[in-house]
Amino acid sequence: GIQVEQSPPDLILQEGANSTLRCNFSDSVNNLQWFHQNPWGQLINLFYIPSGTKQNGRLSATTVATERYSLLYISSSQTTDSGVYFCAVEAGGSYIPTFGRGTSLIVHP
Amino acid sequence: SQTIHQWPATLVQPVGSPLSLECTVEGTSNPNLYWYRQAAGRGLQLLFYSVGIGQISSEVPQNLSASRPQDRQFILSSKKLLLSDSGFYLCAWSEGVDEKLFFGSGTQLSVL
């Protein structure tokens, strides 16, 4: 099956800092999604981004499908950005979203 | 708008007892439904998925089973829980292949 690797595994920031999270995948994909899991366990879909760039407030994401990676940018981080960020991909013909192991982000005030 | 309900939020069960976790989706028809488990250490493991009533696919052979008795209802069950069944269980849905995935609020299961 497809392999999904996320980096870095852990990230600690001071409030106001910027960061870039990376997701690499081993095969061509039909879609890629980014999620944020808050400290209470709720997973929120941030972006559906099989290719190109999208922005939503302080967050933006870019997927370069031909090079098999995606980046999630967080600008001017806030304490509420803390949690775990996952990317998930679906390979062609698959019904199965496969998740990376996530990046744990802690933003200190 | 679509919503997903998952319950209970927390559950403590003795080893050997049965399990039933329920998930329902509102505001959509014929969704794809998924059960994931998240153990300590973060990764999400797909347990079961369903593309229609009575259609269940298992990704990992184990002590659990799933059923889809109605279009928007997905149930995770076990006849006898093991200690290793402890974890955070998440139900999710999408409108089809290559569509956005949405999660329920999860059930924290502790088997003692």
| Residue B45 Ramachandran class (φ > 0 left, ψ -120 to 50 alpha, else beta) | beta
CA distance A43 to chain B (A): 6
Strand partners, A34: A47, A87
The most confident of A85-94, B32-41, B54-63, B64-73, by mean pLDDT: B64-73
Amino acid identity at B18: P
Closest by CA position to B23, among listed B38, B11, B5, B41: B5
What is the C-alpha to C-alpha distance for residues A83 and A106, in angstroms, rounded to an integer? 7
Q: Which residue of B has its CA nearest to A45?
A: B102
List the domain range (segments joined by +) for residue A68.
4-108
Yes or no: say if A36 and A83 are a contact pair by the CB < 8 Å rule.
yes
Band the pLDDT of B61: cuts 50, 70, 90: low
Choose the closest CB to A45 out of B32, B98, B101: B101
Amino acid identity at B61: P
Q: State mean pLDDT over A40-61.
A: 95
Choose the closest CB to A95 out of B42, B51, B105: B51
In the predicted structure, residue A93 carries a pLDDT above the cut 80? no
Q: Which residue of A has its CA nearest to B51?
A: A95
Q: What rounded mean pLDDT belongs to chain A?
A: 94
> Residue for token digits 């299961």?
B109
Q: Which residue of A has its CA nearest to B101?
A: A45
Compute how many other C-beta atoms are within 10 angstroms of the C-beta atom of residue A78.
Answer: 13
Number of domains, chain A: 1
In the predicted structure, residue B98 carries a pLDDT above the cut 80? no
Higher-confidence residue: A87 or A94?
A87
Handedness of CA B17, A39, B3, A52 (dihedral sign): negative
Return the pLDDT at B43: 84
Domain boundaries, chain B: 3-111
CATH number of residue A95's parent domain: 2.60.40.10
Which three-class secondary structure string do you get for chain A? CCCEEEECCEEEEECCCCEEEEEEECCCEEEEEEEEECCCCCEEEEEECCCEEEEECCEEEEEEHHHCEEEEEECCCCHHHCEEEEEEEEECCCCCCEECCCEEEEEEC
Band the pLDDT of A100: cuts 50, 70, 90: very high
Q: State mean pLDDT over B55-76.
A: 90
Q: State mean pLDDT over B72-83.
A: 96
A6 interface with B at CB cutoff 8 Å: no
**Fold type of domain B3-111:** Immunoglobulin-like (2.60.40)
Amino acid identity at B7: W
B43·A33 Cβ contact <8 A: no
Handedness of CA B24, B27, B33, B35 (dihedral sign): negative
pLDDT in tens, B32-48: 999 999 987 678 999 99
What is the C-alpha to C-alpha distance for residues A49 and A64, in angstroms, rounded to an integer? 10
pLDDT in tens, A6-50: 999 999 999 999 999 999 999 988 899 999 999 889 999 999 999
Compute how many other C-beta atoms are within 10 angstroms of the C-beta atom of residue A55.
Answer: 12
